[in-house]
Each structure stands twice: as C-alpha cells, then as structure tokens.
Structure 1
C-alpha cells in the first residue's frame, strides 16, 4: 500500500502529515545533464576558501566545470576529488552499460505501471552520471538495487504514479513562499517514484534539473524520464532526516539502512515502523540477488 509520500525532505525541520516535510534551506543548482538552455553553463568561478554545498557547480581556473559531491569549505576541485567531480556543462550523457538490464528491471517490477518505463529510467541517468556508476561493479549494482528497492516501496512496486489520498492534495501549497503556487493550490501532490510533494520541493527539484516544475508539476506524472529524474534528484542530493544522501550512503559503504533513514527515517527508523523497514530490506535483498551483487552490512536503521 502506498504511503503518502508528502515531501522530498530538504532539511531536518518537520511538519506532520505522514512523512517528514521541510522547507529548503539552500538554493539548488542545475545538475549534470539538465534540460536547461545553454545559458545554464554560466556558473560562477570557483573561489578557494568559499563554502560549497553538495550539488554546487563551479568553473575552475582550467576552464572546466566541477560539481560538489560533498559539502566543503572551498577545497580545490582538481586536488580534492572526493569533494568534487567533473561536470559536463554541455549536458551529461547516459552512462554506458547501465548495471540493470531491461530484463532484470522487468523481473524486479513484473506488475509495474506502464508509465515507469525502463527507457525513461535510462534517459534520466544523464541527470546524475555518478548514480550506479561510481566505485566497483559491486557498489554500482548495490546502489541501483538500493534505489529501486526504495522507490518500489514508495510506489507499491512502481504501481502508483500519484499520491492516492486526494484529500491531501490542497495541503501541499506553502503560499508564504515568494513564488507561491502558480499551478494551483492543489497541484503539488505526491508524484513519481519518490512521490515528490510541496510547491517548494517542485521548485527546488525543477531548478536543479533545469525543468520548470513549479509551473508544470504535471510533467512528473506525464513524462517518465522527468519522473525518474526527480527520484534521482532526491537520491543524489537530499539528506532528508538522515545525515547523508542515499547515494553517499551506498558509495561510502554506510549501508542500506542509511538510505532508509534519509528517505523516511523519521517515520520508520529507530523502531518507529520495523515492518516498513523490513519490507524495504526484503526488496533490496531480492534486487541484489537479481543483479548478482552483495547487500553489504548495516541493512536496517
């Protein structure tokens, strides 16, 4: 049964509906492979000693662009490669050799909604080239399995595209934001594999992806690649109630349990809902087996 995924959590503050909700605390920046026009490549020049947050993109002194993979106080992108990764300003390309084949994807989600296409997922990979493409083959497959296990849990096995309780729809407009809710009071309900919700989350995700989701939130339920991109946006850039992004949790070997914490830790971790946690773990174990990789440790939260 689909839980009411009320927000892509952007800070530790909470607002009760069914999951943690928080306002964004930092301005998002376009991600690799965004659909933004060429002008989006005009990023600021890197400055030594200036604080950068995960996702920031800078132009280095060599003329190349780099994206922060971890918060840092202005480390050199060429030297501090754990904190920075090269960024293709002209738009990313789908990583070749995605570790999940279409046959494996179909095996994982035999009853999925036709909206959630394999091709849509592959097209979305260009937004975050490091996803399932960082580290050893074991880690790459483990990250893909972890992501798909979590979004499968959020959507009832990739069955639900939109939040099921329509009574919640009018609640996801924070009219106090300067940009308001231009698509309508009830337009920002949960959509997509991570059930993106709230006007400020649509704006932040859209800004990062170079897509105007604030004015066009329906794209998340009508365009498969856009929907998948919002899931990857959260996975790769947001910490939610956790202390790290789900991407970092896997590539730094912190365990599947930390991905649960970053997605819905407030409602599930520390004994809050062990049944939901175990459901995610069961899917993760199944998917790692399909991909022929190991789960690693620290599966629970």
Structure 2
C-alpha cells in the first residue's frame, strides 16, 4: 500500500479496524493524548473512516504501532506512525500522543494479518477454485447474490473462512441452492446449500427464521431460504468460523455432521485449492484429520455437546 504524505493542522487521528492486525501483543503501554478532539480511524490513513472521536487529553493504552500517512503538527516532528488503541478498536496518529519523537518508544510494530477480509465471490472465482464440481454454472450464478449476502451476515469474509465454507458447500450441494439429496426420500432429507437434514435441524432453523420448515421442508431449498439456512447452520447450530481461522478442516467436516472417512480428505483438498486461489499459496498448519472424539456422526449433537467434544 502506498504511503501518502499529508500535512494537517487540526487534531487528526488514526486507524482502527483490527482487520490489518493478526495478533497484537498481550501488553500495552500507556500514553497521554494531547488533543481535545482526536479522531480514531479505521486504518492508518487520513482517508480512513473516523470510527469515533476521543475527547481529551486522556490516557490511552497502545499495544502496537504501524506506518501509514505522514501527519505534521506545529511544534512536533512529522510522523508516519499510528498507534493502535485496542480499547477503541482503532488507530490514532502518534502526532497527538505525548512523546518527544516521531515513533512511540517501547511499542512494537503491528503485524500484518495474513488472512484479511475480502469481498464477494463470483462465478469465475468458484469455477477456478473447484473446476468441474461446478456442474451447473447458470444455477450457481443465480444463487450467488443470496450466498454472498449470507456470507457477509455470517462474517465469512476472510480467505480461510470463505475457503472452508465454499469447499463444504461445493461437496454438499455443488453450490446449487435448490438441490435435493439424490435418492433421499425422507421427509426431512438433505436440501439446499448445506443439505439441511433431520427434524432436529429443520425445527430449530424454522423457529430461528420464523418459518414453518417442519410443515414445508421444501422451503429449505428455495432461493429465499437456502443461503440463510446455510448461514444459520454455520454460525448458530454450530460455530464453524473459528475452526476455519485455525485451519482445522477436520473439525469443520466433523461439524457438518457425517462420519469420518475418505470424504474428509477430498473436502480438505478442496479447501486447499480455494485458499491457493484466494491467497496465492497454501499455508502450513492445515489439519485435515479429526480429533478422535469427532470421528463418529455428530449430526444429532447439540451445539454445546459438539463444542465440548471439539475442545478435547
């Protein structure tokens, strides 16, 4: 990202969205602000959005600092450093912190998040990720607006999360919102993106959305409800984003609710392909196998029961 040099004479301030921070240090250093009205920004650039205005002068805690736009204040050296204020989830320019230099002493530099948020996926994206598994491109294209909205709602917004979610759905439904599990004649058999299965899922999902899925299970594969139901399962029936963050694809597969077997590796391979496409490489540390406690069919477990097994 290019660094821009700007001069300011008013109390301007930093950035704050933790999207550019992979992990901040456990400690923080206290500094005093020098402005009566300090902008806390979503990133270390003057064009970044102001997420709050901090009155002052006050004491603030800083856990790391990063380079961004240069800020010049009368009587102070110009500085391109911005302090990350974890209590305010944003950044403030060092120009308005009580320190003699242009950089904060005793404060480490912020680390760059290797898994930053990314935008919506397109048909071309999923075709590149999964190749021939996208068997009906026009149908996939029709469903993508609702699927992207569901991912935004579920904060499935980083390469790892999107790779895990899309790899799961391409194996469940080929990313076709209206699919019915082939040969499954059960009343509450697999339907939709996530292949919702069982009255123990149709009932809670219907109550969550205020619709009668038990009385009208075909709603689970409608364009209106297929993607929201996938989001519900991913975040409410289970909490799967943390497994994706940790590259624990084995636990992702266990959370979907089928017994361990060869399918786990196939889905993990799709996960790796998606990450490679989204980031340019496959990170080390991907775990394709499940913990021993999660090798059986976990589909009927409550979220609390599943979480207890996953924590072992």
TM-score calculated relative to the size of structure 1: 0.49
Q: Which has the higher strand share?
A: 2
TM-score calculated relative to the size of structure 2: 0.47
Higher Cα Rg, which structure: 2
By relative contact order (CA 8 Å, sep 6+), the higher-ranking structure is 1
